[in-house]
Structure 1
Amino acid sequence: MSAMIGLILAFIGFTVASIVTARSVFINSTFNSKVLFSVAIGAIISQLVAVRAMLFVNNELHLSLTSMCLLINALIVVVLTIRSFKNSNLMILLVTYGFSALLSLAIIFVPNDSLAYMGVSINSSVPLIIHIVLSVSAYCVLVISSLYAIQFRYIDSKLKSKTLSLNSHLPSLNVVELQQFRLMAIGLILLTAALFTGFLFLDNMWTKQYAHKTILSLIAWAAFATLTIGHKIYGWRGSNSAIATILASLILTLAYFGSRFVREILLT
Structure 2
Amino acid sequence: MQNSFFLLAALLYLIAAVLPTTARRAQSVLTLFGWLLHGAALSADVTAPDAVRVGFAAMLSATLWITVAFYWLENRNSALDSLRVLVLPVAALAVVLPGIFPGNMVPLAGKSGWFLGHIAISILAYSTLTIAAFHAVLMVLQESRLHIRSAQPKAGWFNGALERLPPLLTMEKLLFRLIALGFTLLTLTMLSGAVFSEQLFGQALRLDHKTIFTFFSWLLFGVLLAGRRWQGWRGKTALRFTLSGFAILLLAYVGTRFVLEVVLHRAFI
TM-score (norm 2): 0.86
Deviates more, 1:87-96 or 1:62-71: 62-71
Q: Structure 1 residues 159 and 43, CA, compared in 2 at 3 Å: closer, same or farther?
A: same
State the 1:118 CA deviation. 2.5
- Which of 129, 134, 139 matches 1:147? 134
Q: Find the counterpart in structure 1 of residue 192 from structure 2.
A: 197
Deviates more, 1:170-179 or 1:256-265: 170-179
* Cα shift readout 1:54-76 (whole Å, capped 9, x = no counterpart): 10135521212322221111111
Q: For the residues of structure 1 that align with 2:209 and 2:230, how far apart are their CA atoms?
A: 31
- Which of 127, 139, 146 matches 2:114? 127
Taking every aligned residue pair, what percent have the same amino acid on both sides?
Answer: 24
Is 1:35 aligned to 2:26, yes or no? Answer: yes
* Unpaired runs of at least 5, structure 1: 25-29, 111-115
Q: Structure 1 residues 160 and 98, CA, compared in 2 at 3 Å: closer, same or farther?
A: same
Is 1:92 aligned to 2:91, yes or no? Answer: no
Q: Find the counterpart in structure 2 of residue 75 from structure 1.
A: 66
Q: For the residues of structure 1 that align with 2:41 and 2:126, how far apart are their CA atoms?
A: 21
Q: Find the counterpart in structure 1 of residue 254 from structure 2.
A: 257
Q: Find the counterpart in structure 2 of residue 182 from structure 1.
A: 177
Q: For the residues of structure 1 that align with 2:221 and 2:174, how far apart are their CA atoms?
A: 15
State the 1:175 CA deviation. 2.1
* Cα shift readout 1:84-113 (whole Å, capped 9, x = no counterpart): 1111311112211122223335655x2xxx
Is 1:136 aligned to 2:123, yes or no? Answer: yes
Q: For the residues of structure 2 that align with 1:57 and 1:64, how far apart are their CA atoms?
A: 14
TM-score (norm 1): 0.86
Residues 131, 197 of structure 1: 8 Å contact kept: yes
Q: Structure 1 residues 103 and 198, CA, compared in 2 at 3 Å: closer, same or farther?
A: closer
RMSD: 2.0
State the 1:173 CA deviation. 1.5
Deviates more, 1:161-170 or 1:253-262: 161-170
- Which of 103, 117, 120 matches 2:102? 117
State the 1:262 CA deviation. 1.1
Deviates more, 1:157-166 or 1:232-241: 157-166
Residues 65, 119 of structure 1: 8 Å contact kept: no
